[in-house]
Chains A and B, each alone.
Chain A
Amino acid sequence: MPTKLRIALVAGLLAFASNLLIIGFIHWQTRDQIVANERKQVAEQWAVLRDIYRASGEQGLRRAIDDTIGAGDPQMAAAILTSDGRPIYGNVSAVSLKNAKPSAGPRSVLLTIDREATPREAAVGFMRLADGRWLLSGRTVAEGISLRETLERSLLVGLAVSALLGLICGWVIGQFVDRRVRDIVAVADRIGGGDLSERVPHSGGRDSFERLAERINQMLDRIATLMNELRMLTDSLAHELRSPVGRLRAAADAAISASDPQERDKLLGDVIRQSDALMRILTTVLEIARTESFTAKNQFSWVDPGELGLELAEMYEPVAEEAGASLTLDRQPILIPIAGHRQLLAQALSNLIENAIKYSGPGGEIRLFVREDEKGLSLGVSDHGPGIPAEREGEARKRFGRLDPSRTLEGAGLGLSLVQAIAHLHEGELVLDDNEPGLIARLEIPLNGVKIPDSVGAL
């Protein structure tokens, strides 16, 4: 069944049911109301006539009956009957008086008002007069009933109309829903066909469909960005690999044309070095992709950040010294272990230290720091090298993004993007700050739910 038909039917049914409920309520209420009114009137009139009879006897009663009838109320019925129920005075021409008992009424009887052909239902009260005759006083209920009937009839018409309106409304809503969904489906189809530029049109409103469209468009934007990045990465990978491959080829060419065996050995060594450099680029690109896909999460273990800092400081201190720089470790005495990837964290720090050594040059003071506060773990490296201008930060993080335009320093510009991927793997960020002068590059890793154990607090 198509959606719009289903929505129309449901709406129609709901309208019908709710109206039925309202009509039922009105019906029940008005009926009670009418009946209560009738009862009251009958009882009041009976009481008035009784009082008059008691006060002024039959003469007064007859006058009162005349007055009552004469008031012009067509529903009014008042009469004196013989003990066997034959009307002898009043406006009633016939009544069946079965088991009449004196009462204020109302009892339901069939009676014929003067000059009318058919008997009508009436609510009446009876009173036994002194000589065994009866006083009948009451009202025919025809008018009340017909009022009710009219009301009911109109309510029924209303019911039919509302059901129809519900059906129409449902159809219109269904039509609307159908159209919006059809728009989205059409866009999805075109995107499935390969056109990622397609977007769900805006209707301008703020309804759920608009929000859905917005989300879908956001999702498409994200996918398009990723696709674009991927395309750019593939492009730049192909492009960036040209120079190392070129160098490799040049080295091989040189080796092949060398006649002196010693010279050739040296040149062949170059060939191997160049192919190693090429491999290193590929390994790093793969490492970044792997890290970004978060598959390394299952290799997380408890890592003591202080120990990590100590290891790397010890590892690179001689290297820095060799380069004429100095490397110092600045770490808090007690650090909470974090759930992390020891190898990748070490690699991230190693990349940052290598960068610092490379850019600091002789005399550089490099500081490796490991700190923890309530926000989390912060580990990184500061130097007094050239730093990274704020406006070029994005570039520095990019794969193959190298800020040195002459490209005199070795490296493919992959280091920081790997560090960033490692930070993301640990739900953290790579933060680059100005050391005035120089660079502070640090990983900020939140300590997710890791509480300080009591035993540590007691130390």
Chain B
Amino acid sequence: MRIRAHSAFGLLAAAAILQAVVLWRRSIPRIPEGPTLGDTLPALRTYAVPSDELIQLGNGASEVDSCTVVVAISTTCGVCALMRDQWNEKYSHWLDTVGAPVRAVWVAAAESDTLQAFLDGSGLLDAVGLARMRPGDPDFRTRLGVYATPTVYLLDQHDKLRIGSLGFNLPPVDSAAQICRTPL
């Protein structure tokens, strides 16, 4: 009887500790997970700027057989403004060094007018694909995993996420060349 009582006590104590741990873990807010490296970028509903046509981004929606650099920006971020001003020069140099075709798509959760005003005069409207999500679209954070702008992703020819970086950092040339020069 004594042994059984000790066992029951131990069991209940373990359950109590387990419950406390679970409660404590639940009290910590979870930031939604972003995309997973190596997986196809989740399908996202975006709108072309300025035409506002619905375009699907990610999940094999790409019809081009090349890598894609996805740049998530916001129109109020200073580094994004710097990126806008220096993009053409830096990206063309990066592209030459990578030595493989890579298309660039900029994504922002903003109104079309705001986005166009932000890029006005930069020459980028013709140089990059521009995809817009609704302002405050939760998918911008939860599915695209953007918690700071600019966030830059390199997708391979299968729209699989291969490299993610924060700030005005294009993916390392060596890695990008290895990924994007590999034939399908």
Chain B binds chain A: no
Chain B positions near chain A (C-beta within 8 angstroms) = none
Chain A positions near chain B (C-beta within 8 angstroms) = none
